[in-house]
């Protein structure tokens, strides 16, 4: 089963906020360099820094706009795969799962090596989050609910 990032309005808002932040940086750059009493080298260095920051903000906005199309959790026959936002995928074989607990809106998966991985249920649609819990309970069988 594939579970995508849900709640597209949440991600759209984050994308818009990223664009607004980039626009504010451009505004600060314009205001800073209207007088331009800085040396040419400092001007070039600061311009390069501002450009990198603005490009990162645009990339991040596009990423957030496309996020509802991307998989967040994949459940297959042997493992659970977490596709985190900016981190590489994390594959968890069911044999390594020691304990699963639902704490508020987070599924906390405790592994055999006592490491924890989190699945944020509010990143999923409500139907997907309840279906994911059912699937995990069927595959792993250990699930505690804590509010």
Is there a single domain that holds both residue 27 and residue 60? Answer: yes
pTM: 0.76
CA 125 to CA 131: how far, in whole Å?
10
- 21-77 confidence digits (pLDDT tens): 999 988 888 887 777 677 778 888 888 998 999 999 999 999 999 988 888 999 988
* Single residue among 68, 97, 125 that ends a domain in this structure: 68
DSSP-derived letter for residue 33 is T
Is there a single domain that holds both residue 75 and residue 100? Answer: yes
Domain range enclosing 124: 71-146
To the nearest 10 degrees (0 to 180), the angle between helices 40-66 and 8-32 is 170
- 82-124 confidence digits (pLDDT tens): 987 777 888 999 888 888 888 888 999 888 888 999 999 988 8
| CATH number for position 119 | 2.30.29.30
Model confidence at 126: pLDDT above 90: no
Alpha helices in 33-125 (DSSP H): 40-66
Considering its fold, how many domains does the chain have in total?
2
CA 69 to CA 6: how far, in whole Å?
9
Is there a single domain that holds both residue 42 and residue 57? Answer: yes
Is there a single domain that holds both residue 119 and residue 93? Answer: yes
CA 109 to CA 111: how far, in whole Å?
6
Three-state secondary structure call for residue 105 = coil
């Amino acid at each position: 089963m594939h579970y995508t990032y849900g709640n597209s309005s949440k991600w759209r808002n984050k994308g818009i906020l990223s664009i607004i932040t980039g626009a504010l940086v451009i505004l600060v750059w314009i205001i800073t360099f209207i007088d331009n009493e800085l040396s040419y080298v400092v001007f070039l260095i600061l311009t390069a820094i501002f450009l990198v920051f603005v490009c990162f903000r645009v990339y991040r906005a596009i990423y957030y706009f496309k996020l509802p199309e991307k998989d967040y959790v994949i459940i297959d026959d042997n493992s659970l795969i977490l596709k985190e936002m900016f981190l590489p995928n994390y594959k968890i074989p069911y044999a390594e799962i020691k304990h699963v607990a639902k704490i508020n809106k987070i599924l906390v998966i405790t592994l055999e090596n006592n490491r924890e991985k989190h699945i944020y249920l509010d990143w999923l649609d409500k139907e997907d989050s309840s279906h994911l819990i059912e699937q995990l309970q069927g595959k792993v069988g250990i699930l505690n609910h804590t509010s």
